[in-house]
Amino acid sequence: MSVLSYIVPRVIYKTGSRYNRKIWVVEEAGKNKLLVNGARESGPYIEGLWRYALRELLVDSSRLVQNILVLGVAGGTVIHLLHALYPRSRILGVDIDPVIIDVGHTYFGLNTVPHLECKAKDAKEFVASYSGPMFDLVVVDIFVGPDVPDFVFSPMFERRVKDILSKDGFVLVNYLREPGYEKKAEKLGRLLKKLYPSLRSADKYNNRFFLAE
């Protein structure tokens, strides 16, 4: 930790990959944040969004959650939060970019999370071919820099996510509601409402979180 980061943020790591042209780790006020193609994907701001969503959507330690799938690892913010809630749960993180997974382990402490396995694989392909144990919770947190791929609100993808949920499982989707995404967010909400008996949402800044169960 650098004391100077409380005055001026400093870039401590720069790289890129075949999937993301610009991957930066920036230390700011003593904490690391991950910028991918200029968009924040991990760090205090993202942690605040997820803490709000989990609280508003009543995701707490009273739920029976033993097997978790996180689609979109980034720096692992939501993985750390879910491990704190469900410390004995197995967590499988899936991200298309192996470089991002390495950054999460090196700069954001993913290597310290027990019962965590990370796979470098396309989320769409992963859910389409998955045949292992069912998940009690699936988190859909898929971003490519500032954008969400269109397959996230496709019926085929969301139906397949439902197929790999346990009987009492639930899905959490982090989406956008900023200009250009309002209609897509509404479309995703209508789709989830058709697929699940219960649907709630929570809005924070430019993000919309859905909980379907």
Residue 70 in 3-state DSSP?
A: strand
Sign of CA dihedral 43, 44, 49, 52: positive
CA distance linking residue 164 with residue 16, whole number of Å: 32
Confidence of residue 90 (pLDDT cuts 50, 70, 90): very high
SS3 assignment for 118-178: EEECCHHHHHHHCCCCCEEEEEECCCECCECCHHHHCHHHHHHHHHCEEEEEEEEEEEECC
Q: Write out pLDDT tens, residues 12-46.
A: 999 999 999 999 999 998 899 999 999 999 999 99
pTM exceeds 0.75 for this model:
yes
CA distance linking residue 169 with residue 212, whole number of Å: 9
pLDDT at 1: 58
Helix (H) or strand (E) holding 210: strand 207-212
pLDDT over 90 (residue 10): yes
Q: Which two tokens stand for residue 52?
A: 């709000």
CB-side neighbour CA atoms (13 Å) of 111: 7
Give the closest residue to 108 by CA, choosing from 77, 70, 69: 77
Q: Which domains does the chain have, with CATH numbers?
A: 41-212 (3.40.50.150)
Confidence of residue 8 (pLDDT cuts 50, 70, 90): confident
